[in-house]
Amino acid sequence: MSFKMKKKVNTGRTPIYRDAGFYLGDAGTTRQAFENEKDHPWEPTEYIYTRYRNPSVVSAEQELAKIEESGWALLTQSGMSSVDLALSIFQRAGENQTWLMFSEIYGGTNSFIDKVLIERRGINVQRFVPEKGAYNLEVLEKTFRETKPELIYFEIISNPMLMVSDALAIIIIAKKYGARVVIDNTFSSSYLWKPLDFGADLVIYSATKYLSGHGDLTAGAVCGNDPQLLANALEYRKLVGHILSPDDANRLESQMKTFRLRFEKQCANAYALARILEENEMVEEVLYPGLESHTSHANAKKLFDSKGFGAMITFDLKGKDAKEKEKVRDAFISLLQDHIPLIPSLGDVRTTLLPVEPVWGDKYPMPGMIRLSVGIEDISFLETLLIDTLDRLSVEF
C-alpha cells in the first residue's frame, strides 16, 4: 500500500530542501527553466539543481539582504570562497590588471592573494601598507594616480591590531579614479557600517563569525546592489560550485535572526572590558578602537557613530622582557582555560581568546599579546573573571 501525506505543514519557515535536483515535470517546463537560467535571476521561477540555486539557500540569502539592506546577497561555503567569488568576477583573461590590496587584512586572504591571484592568475597586485598605525590617504591618492588600480580591497577593522580605516574617504578616492571597491566587513559588520550605502561595489563576510555567531558553522557571503554583478557572481558560483549547503543555510538563517542582538551586546561587553584592561597594572597596552588611546579612535567615531566599536580587543600583557611576557601570557591562558577557551576563530557568543605571536609570527612578534573575541556573557561575570585572573598573575609575577 502506498501512503502519501495529504496535509501540507506550514510553519512559516522555509524547510531544508536537501534535493540535488528539482522536479520539472515535462519537457516544456524544463526548456523554459534552462532558458530563464541564462538571465541568472537571484530567485528563479523554477529551481533546477542545488549547485545553481536552492530555495533554503535563497531564503537565508534574503534574510541576510534584510540585515545588510542590500539589493542581493549570495551565500558560499566559507569566507574564503566569498573572497574568491567577489574578486574572480572582476578578472579578465589576457589583460594586465592592477589591483590594490591593503596589507592589513586576514592572513588567509593575504595568502590567497600571493598563491592564487599573483602566482596562478598573474594579477599585478600592489600592497598598500599603513604608516604608524594608519593608512596615509595622500599616499593612497598618489598611488592611484601612478599605478591606476582597477580594484581595491580592504577590511574596515584590521586583524589583530584593530586599526579602523577611514573607509568613507578611501571609497571616495577609489571612485574618483574609477576603481571597483570590494570590502571585507567581517569585523565591523553592517551593524556598525554599511559600505554599500557609500559606494562600495561588493561587501564580503566570513559568516563563520558574527553572522552565524555560535562557532558551529562555516560560511561566507557576498552582498551587492548591482544586478550585473549579481548575474556574474551567480554564474561564477554555479560554475565553481561555491554554494553553501541547504542544511548550513537553514541553520545560518535561524542564527542570523539574533545577529543584531548578539553583536550589540558583544560590542557593549567589549567596550566595558577594554576599559578594565586599560586600567590594570598587568596590562601594558590595550588596542581597542573605542579607547581614546587607539590610533584610529577618530576614524572609528566618525564611521560607527555611537553604535559601538566592535567586539574584538587586542592587548599586551606586562613582563620585564620577551621571556617573561611569554610566561605571563601562558599563565593567563591557562588560568582562563575553563571559561575562555583558546580557539582560533572569533565572533562566537562565548568569549574566546588567541595568542597573537604563535599565529602571526614575525609579522607581530609580541609574546605578551592576546586577541580577545568578546561574547554575550553577563558583563559582571566577565569583568570579575578578568580582574581576578590579572590579580592572580600580579601575585605570581
Site string (157-196) toward ligand PLP, x via CB under 6 A: --x------------------------x-xx---------
Q: Does 236 bind ligand PLP (CB under 6 A)?
A: no
278, three cell numbers: 586599560
CA distance 42 to 238: 12
One-letter amino acid at 380 equals S
Nearest CA to 173 out of 141, 136, 148 is that of 141
Q: Which of 14, 50, 70, 208 binds ligand PLP (CB under 6 A)?
A: 208
Pairing of strands 202-206, 180-184: parallel
Give yes or no for a contact between 314 and 160, defined as CB atoms under 8 angstroms apart.
yes
Residue 280 or 373: which CB sits closer to ligand PLP?
373
Tell the smallest beta-carbon distance from residue 206 to ligand PLP (Å): 3
Stretch that binds ligand PLP, among 63-71, 106-114, 144-152, 284-292 (CB under 6 A): 106-114
149: cell is: 588600480
- Torsion on CA atoms 230, 88, 130, 319, rounded to nearest 10: 100
Does 220 interact with ligand PLP (rule: CB under 6 A)? yes
Report the helix count and the strand count for the chain, using DSSP H and E.
Answer: 14, 11
> Contact 223/65 with Cβ under 8 angstroms?
yes
Q: Nearest to ligand PLP by Cβ — which residue?
A: 79
Sign of the Cα torsion 143, 145, 148, 154 reads: positive
| Per-residue contact flags (x/-) with ligand PLP for residues 56 to 95, judged by CB under 6 A | ----------------------xxx---------------
Nearer to ligand PLP, 266 or 280 (CB): 266
Nearest distance from residue 61's CB to ligand PLP, in Å? 16
Taking the complex as a whole, the smallest distance from the CB of residue 155 to ligand PLP amounts, in Å, to 6
Q: Interface residues with ligand PLP (CB under 6 A)? A: 78-80, 106, 108-109, 155, 159, 184, 186-187, 206, 208, 218, 220
